[in-house]
Amino acid sequence: MTPSPLVLRQGNVCDVAAGEVLAGHDVLVAEGRIQAVGPRLAVPEGTREVSVEGRHVTPGLIDAHVHVTAGTADLGAQAEDSPYYVAAQTSTILRGMLGRGFTTVRDVGGADFGIARAVDEGLWAGPRVHFGGKALSPTGGHADLRGPGRQVLDNHVCAAGIGVVCDGVDAVRRAARDQLRTGAHHVKIMLSGGVASPTDRIDSLQFSADEVRAVVEEAGNAQRYVTGHAYTAQAVNRGLELGVRCIEHGNLIDDESVRLFREKDAFLVPTLVTYEYLRSEGAGAGLPPASQAKVGVVLEAGLEALDRASRGGVRIAFGTDLLGTMQVHQSDEFRIRGKVQSAADVLRSATVVGAELLGRAGELGVVAEGAVADLLVVDGNPLADAAVLADPARVTAVIQGGRAVAGEPG
């Protein structure tokens, strides 16, 4: 059912791309789209009129690195759970994200077409989901969640893991095609070791160059792209040179990484909040001891990498990568990034840049005529203070596709 037309009156509209606030502007919404933005708009008869005077109107937020099926930080143990139980956890996680103002997310390991469809059809409340299906990992890589003594490997689609293990060019090519067959918006591969995996090292390189090229070719053939999990400069730079369009994390990048990001017109998605809470809450959320020991390797370097990339002009999207009970801290990424980036740049990362990464520039991440009517009503100016959006209580209303889905705009 299409929501009735709505006009938000006399708000301070955030023009995120320009970094400006348009004071005393109205936003007219109908049929799920923004119809007009301007002062004292004339509206059709029957339009619901709501005053938001004194508050700020921003685009709905985009989190470009989530795992909506990760109901625990012990991803290896979750692979043994019932898919129905994981689905119930996923529904709760999605609803929480929407309430914090995230109207679109990009899932980079775990979510599939069924989850995206459940949100699109209104079966679940949540942000629209751009999914990649299962991330691709070599044996012993970041999505191989077996302990060293376990031999059995279950790549079945119903197994509630974040990835699929594949080795060799033919197998990797087939795995990429299988994700794309389901409608995946991207393909994720593991370029280096990670924190949550039990048997790899952070500084390991994963997949051969030929295997990476095969995935890049398959994604390109399907008019999609490859994103790569990578921490070290060696892994990041290798991935960019082989055609990977986006890098997740990148905590240990160097100046050569920045040059390659610019040359390849690639994106970086830092995920700083996850390390802070993995250190303080990871054990209670189920993170195994072997993974807890890895957190310190990447924690301290994250802000330095963000600063290096920001000063170097890299296109930086917003990501969080939280797991289990730590998902509630999603908004805290704004506070952390505000330590080294301007508030305007932080907000751009969660709106304009995120939309560019998703291939939906001008449609998401902006308050502009013709854009999808994903809007937040906020107490405070997030273009001047990044901490405003770090407090979900200051998001007083969430509008998704022209429909109020959390809070009240008036």
Strands 315-316 and 48-51: unpaired
Token pair of 91 as six digits: 């529904």
Q: Tell me the sheet residues that pair with 393.
A: none
pLDDT tens for the chain, residues 1 to 410: 678 899 999 999 999 999 999 999 999 999 999 999 999 999 999 999 999 999 999 999 999 999 999 998 888 778 788 989 999 999 999 999 999 999 999 999 999 999 999 999 999 999 999 999 999 999 987 777 666 666 556 655 655 678 999 999 999 999 999 999 999 999 999 999 877 666 677 788 999 999 999 999 999 999 999 999 999 999 999 999 999 999 999 999 999 999 999 999 999 999 999 888 877 776 676 666 766 665 666 667 889 999 999 999 999 999 999 999 999 999 999 999 999 999 999 999 999 999 999 999 999 999 999 999 999 999 999 999 999 999 999 999 999 999 999 987 76
Structure tokens, 83: 């898919």
The domains found in the chain, sorted by start residue, are 6-59+365-407 (2.30.40.10), 61-330 (3.20.20.140)
CB 377 within 8 A of CB 389: no
Query: Rounded CA gap, 198 and 76, in Å?
Result: 9
| Phi, psi dihedral angles at 83 (to 5 degrees) | -60, -25
CA distance 69 to 120: 17
Question: Would you call 81 exposed, middle or buried from its count of C-beta atoms within 10 A (0-12, 13-18, 19+)?
Answer: middle
The model's pTM: 0.93
